[in-house]
Structure 1
Amino acid sequence: MTTDQRVLGLDIGGANIKLASDDGSYVQTKPFPMWSRHQELATVVEGMIGEYIAHCKSKHAYAVIDAIAVTMTGELADCFSSKQSGVIAICTAVQTAAGDRFPIYFYGTDGSWRTATQASQNWHTLAASNWHAMANLCGQLVPDNTHLLIDIGSTSTDIIPLVDGEVATDSLDDLTRLQSGQLVYCGVERTPICSLVSEFNLDNTHTPVARELFATTLDVFLLSGDVAEQPHNTSTADGKPATRQDAQRRMARMICQCPELLTDLELQQLVQQSRQAVFDLLTVATQKVLAELNSQPDSIIAVGQATFLITELAGDIPVIHLSDLWPGINQQVSRVGPALAVAALLQQELATSP
């Protein structure tokens, strides 16, 4: 039996928890609505680590975990009274899940590592740190010239400039990142349609939307064909499966209608105009970030769940994927990019430490 010696990376968000080994050979994603299940976080994380160990055993390998690297965005969930309390709660939960079996390190936006006991004094650097980890790793993979990292996730989008291998921004927290255009709170699954569109143009008739959480961007990209059906995924506006049939019903509700009463053309118009609204929002932010650079980037690095949109956003700028920069890695690993990033970065840190 072989020994599988790894650093594991955890990206703990407000809607999903992602885990990856430092070489990308193992990845795992679990839906986790932090706002309603935060008290279960330690149990869920412990279970995910257990699944990794079981996976190794199934491959006839001993799972030796050197350490666990953690990054987060889940501290913003409204179950916490503040970001500080959210960071501390997440750090405590992960430490509880790991026990004394292996050391835990938390990544900060200053590129440094901290322990759970240091969280309360350093919460501001640990909060919303996953984008920096991803950018830091990509900077190592493309150490020369200027590049733009775009990571489109389920909830939000990161647009980060990289110059000569460095994360080239002074915007390190959520507020300044929103203001600079480097954080766009729009993703391809959880964003409510009513936050993107005020009215639809249906057969040249202006039709105001129902300002209710009836449908999200997941429904748009299901119906546009950009995203495959996910029958087991019920993290939708109505709790029904992420199928095209159910997505039609959710989209129809945006104009207080039933899908049976919509023509194919009207449904198509709802989808196309919603998709365009997402694209336009991301285009404005991308152009804002590009305007701050001295020259056009040599490439756009596409990471996350919607590389199809990044290709459209790029225009004539070459697009490269994480799998292009890391030979042998599965392209699907980019969907858990920050988890992979903290695992790889901590592995480097431990390897070079005296």
Structure 2
Amino acid sequence: MSVYISTWSWAVSPERGVIGWDVGGAHLKVAWQDRRGTLRRVEIRATPLWQGFESLDLAIRELAQELPLQMCEHRVTMTAELVDLFDDRRSGVCELVDWLSVRLPPQQLFFFAGQEGFVPAAVASNFYEQIASANWLATTSFAASVIASGVMIDVGSTTSDLLPFDKHQLQNRGFTDRERLLHGEMIYAGIVRTPLMAITDRVPFKGDWLTLANEHFATTADIYRILGDLPEHADLYPAADGKGHSITASMRRLSRMIGADLGDGSDADWYRLAAFFADRQLDALSLTCQRQFSLGLADSATLIGAGVGRFLVQRVADRLGCPYIDIGQLLTQGEYGAKAADCAPAVALLRLQQCRSAVCA
């Protein structure tokens, strides 16, 4: 390890605390902790980076009016390097590092690089492989420092991460997205942006099995809105048809998935259909979780829920008969528990200096 790397430690003495940034392709998650270690702000903003840097630039300019950006240390993790704005992951990491170094104080800017810890902005591009899509590692490293054995499951708007750990040590077999997809440590489905055709290929409706239209007519946000599960703040993007976020609008979009109109079914029919999709997504999470348990985790292994879709993790725990804990309870005891769980990687970055015992696989 190079001598200039600051691993799990403070690299500067920030005047106003530390800000954690989880820069995603669709959302920016930000958490500010003051010098006393108290969370003062946690929030999510929509930043569609596949369209360009404009939305991220606007978000940071607005945050500069509300937070002491110039007087804080900044810790960054990212998944945004995967958007098709960039040619490849290396280009994405390097461009994001350079771009953020112009807008945040570069001497106080550090990037999370897994086992390498937090690397200064000046050399971060040399660690692009470790920095790329490592937000799950920040959250799981923190979780493994305070819980002995379990699976950390972060269900977000677009993807779900399932990372096992045992005896306070991470047991992940993959690191890149490709490797994690191979090992069942990532499911490319979340509770907001996932097209319903990615959840199942056929559904029951009025006594028949129907194949789905392979069109982007409706998303998982629609089914969880119909079922009453979708957190109001979780859906920050236009619907598939660009129309409203009401339950009726979601039912109309759902009807198109089977080549029907809203009037072809009752509210109960559309609710039942939405529940079928939700059950299939829960099946995928449950089966993948059982795969992680089969690695030989302790009988007392706990499921730790994170992300705006963590209500599904509670249901997986109920189905499998496992203990469950919301990561917000581990990240903070203050008023920001729910928001901290929504933005777990950003908040975990603030806590990692206390977690030196967690060793990444």
Fold-level similarity (TM above 0.5) = yes
CA 229–330 in structure 1, closer or farther in 2 if over 3 Å, else same = closer
What's 1:29 paired with? 44
Asked if 1 retains the 8 angstrom alpha-carbon contact of 2:141 and 2:170, the reply is yes
What's 1:57 paired with? none
Q: SS state of the match for residue 70, structure 1?
A: strand
Q: Deviations over 1:265-287 (max 9, x none)?
A: 33123201111111111112111
Q: Work out which of the residue numbers 300, 305, 308 in structure 2 matches 1:302.
A: 305
> Displacement of 1:295 after TM fit?
3.1
Q: Work out which of the residue numbers 332, 335, 339 in structure 1 matches 2:342.
A: 335
Identical pairs, percent:
26
Q: Work out which of the residue numbers 130, 133, 157 in structure 1 matches 2:135.
A: 130
Unaligned runs of 5+ in 1: 54-62, 350-354
What's 2:120 paired with? 115
What's 1:167 paired with? 170
Asked if 2 retains the 8 angstrom alpha-carbon contact of 1:220 and 1:275, the reply is yes
Unaligned runs of 5+ in 2: 1-13, 357-361
What's 1:104 paired with? 109
User: Given the two structures, how large is their TM-score scaled by the length of structure 2?
Assistant: 0.86
Q: Output the amino acid matched with 2:53.
A: H
> Displacement of 1:64 after TM fit?
7.1
Q: Output the amino acid matched with 2:172.
A: T
> Displacement of 1:347 after TM fit?
8.3
Query: 5 Å matches for 1:170-319?
Result: 170-229=173-232, 233-314=236-317, 315-319=320-324
Q: Output the amino acid matched with 1:19.
A: V
> Displacement of 1:4 after TM fit?
7.7
Q: Output the amino acid matched with 1:66.
A: C
Q: Output the amino acid matched with 1:128.
A: S
CA 323–265 in structure 1, closer or farther in 2 if over 3 Å, else same = closer
Q: SS state of the match for residue 350, structure 2?
A: helix
Provide the rounded CA distance (Å) in 1 between the counterparts of 2:295 and 2:65. 45
CA 330–41 in structure 1, closer or farther in 2 if over 3 Å, else same = closer
What's 1:89 paired with? 95
Provide the rounded CA distance (Å) in 1 between the counterparts of 2:116 and 2:221. 33
Asked if 1 retains the 8 angstrom alpha-carbon contact of 2:153 and 2:303, the reply is yes
Provide the rounded CA distance (Å) in 2 between the counterparts of 1:242 and 1:117. 43
Q: Work out which of the residue numbers 54, 69, 79 in structure 1 matches 2:75.
A: 69
> How well do the aligned residues superpose, as a CA RMSD in angstroms?
2.4
Q: Output the amino acid matched with 2:210.
A: T
Q: Which runs of 4+ in 1 moved over 6 A?
A: none
What's 2:84 paired with? 78
What's 1:51 paired with? 66
Q: SS state of the match for residue 26, structure 1?
A: strand
Q: Work out which of the residue numbers 141, 151, 156 in structure 2 matches 1:153.
A: 156
Asked if 2 retains the 8 angstrom alpha-carbon contact of 1:229 and 1:244, the reply is no
Q: SS state of the match for residue 10, structure 1?
A: strand
CA 146–234 in structure 1, closer or farther in 2 if over 3 Å, else same = closer
CA 140–232 in structure 1, closer or farther in 2 if over 3 Å, else same = closer
CA 231–274 in structure 1, closer or farther in 2 if over 3 Å, else same = closer
The number of aligned residues is: 335
Asked if 1 retains the 8 angstrom alpha-carbon contact of 2:150 and 2:297, the reply is no
Q: Output the amino acid matched with 2:50.
A: W
Q: Deviations over 1:228-266 (max 9, x none)?
A: 456984432122233212211211111222213322333
